[in-house]
Amino acid sequence: MIGFFDLKLLLKQKTAFIWLLVMPLAFVAVIGIANRGGRDSPGNPTPRVLIDNLDTGFMGTLLMEELNARGLQLAGESERDEAERGIAIPAGFTDEILATEQVKLSFFKLQGSAGPPAALIEVRLVRALVGLNSALVEFVLKNPPGTKFSEDGLRELLQREDPVQLDAQFAGRNPIPAGYQQSLPGILVMYLLINLLSFGAISLTIERREGIIRRLAAYPVRPLELVLGKIFGRFLVGGVQILFLLAVGQLFLGVKVGHNLPLILTTLAIYSWMCAALGVLIGAVSSSPDRTLGISIVVGMVMAALGGCWWPLEIVGDTMRAIGMSLPTGWAMSAMHQLISFGGGFAQVDWQMAALAALGLVVTLLAGRFLRYQ
């Protein structure tokens, strides 16, 4: 009765729908579009490489086209700060090749660039050079002896479909979630935490100040039953938000949640219970609604940022990833990516669910222990 009555009171407030439905959906759309998939997405990295082309002939142009086709974004001097590595094409590159002489390229590091993209750039550079050399060899074999290399003939060989396709991937790594695959679970996990902390803590603080909790204590209700009723009411609020955003994601945003829906709902239900219990605990020990609101928002935002709700933990360093995976938001995001993006099952999320459930139990007992009636 306590839980359903609290939900009914909350849903009578029009502003509640803004925080529960409108704001999260807007953030999902904005962040999903900003981090959308495609050629330059985190799931399909195409690092920028600075091209210093000193060649005036057509071979330098063909090499640049081949580098672009192999998955590198070519940057000029004006984009130097955004590039990860540099490639210098020497002067006379075309003339030396036409004279069948060996010519070397320079592959260099730029100041301030990161280390990991170098391996990816080097692999794609080698593939581009192999492709260009293969075209040169094939051109010689297909034409009479003494035939000079021509731009049109080489471009035709380079642009035709390869008879053998190579699918190259980094072993042991899932593709980094991008677009709505990242923004939907990330914003859902963040707003569940912020809303359930805020609604749970502020309402309990106000009810205690106005004497509502003290009047409830006059009824045959044990303190733990009162706390469980308050947690259940916030849990139902989270359920409304979960069902709405998952439905929008499945029907309109292309986020495939249907194949693992029972596990997704179970994980989010456990997470919502933990967030609701944490909100009630904050409200049980706090006496100021304004201070409670500030604490709830700050805690929610910090845990969301560190836990991978704003960006995937796969793109941060080892230290930040370890910090994120020590937080409940990190556990929830890890489980969501496994169930939504990586095709995992219960074996891949069992520890996350167990950790969230254990924390939820501890926080629930603490809320019952520290609840003050006035």
Report the side by side order of strands in the sheet with 73-75.
Answer: 73-75, 48-53, 85-89, 106-109
- CA-to-CA distance for 320 and 317, rounded, in angstroms? 6
What are the extents of the domains in the chain?
Answer: 2-37+178-370, 48-159
Question: How many residues does the structure list for the chain?
Answer: 374
Q: With contact defined as beta carbons under 8 Å apart, do 198 and 46 qualify?
A: no
CA 26 vs CA 19, 33, 184, 255, 280: distances in Å: 10, 11, 10, 16, 27
- CA-to-CA distance for 216 and 1, rounded, in angstroms? 12
pLDDT in the model for residue 55: 92
- Residue 141: half-sphere exposure toward Cβ, Cα within 13 Å: 7
pLDDT in the model for residue 113: 58
> Based on C-alpha coordinates, what's the Rg of the chain?
29
pLDDT in the model for residue 334: 94
Which residues lie below 8 Å from residue 374, measured CB to CB, with a gap of 6+? Answer: 208, 211, 213, 214
Instruction: Report DSSP state, residue 226.
Output: H
- CA-to-CA distance for 70 and 48, rounded, in angstroms? 12
Q: Is 367 exposed, middle or buried (0-12, 13-18, 19+ CB in 10 A)?
A: buried
- CA-to-CA distance for 229 and 235, rounded, in angstroms? 10
Alpha-helical regions (H) of the chain: 2-11, 14-17, 23-34, 58-69, 93-98, 117-142, 151-159, 180-209, 212-216, 223-251, 261-285, 289-306, 318-324, 328-340, 346-370
Strand partners, 44: 41
Tens-place pLDDT, residues 279-327:
889 888 877 877 888 888 888 899 999 999 998 887 788 899 999 999 9
pLDDT in the model for residue 311: 87
CA 337 vs CA 53, 186, 188, 302, 326: distances in Å: 42, 9, 13, 20, 16
Residues of the chain scoring pLDDT < 70: 36-45, 112-118, 166-175, 374
- Greatest C-alpha distance within the chain: 104
Q: Which fold has domain 48-159?
A: abc type-2 transporter like fold (3.40.1710)
CA 182 vs CA 64, 70, 309, 311, 350: distances in Å: 33, 26, 8, 7, 21
pLDDT in the model for residue 183: 93
pLDDT in the model for residue 287: 74
DSSP assignments along 150-178, one per residue: -HHHHHHHHHSPPSS------TT-PPPP-
Token pair in block for residue 212: 């509502």
Write down the pTM of the prediction.
0.68
Q: With contact defined as beta carbons under 8 Å apart, do 157 and 138 qualify?
A: yes
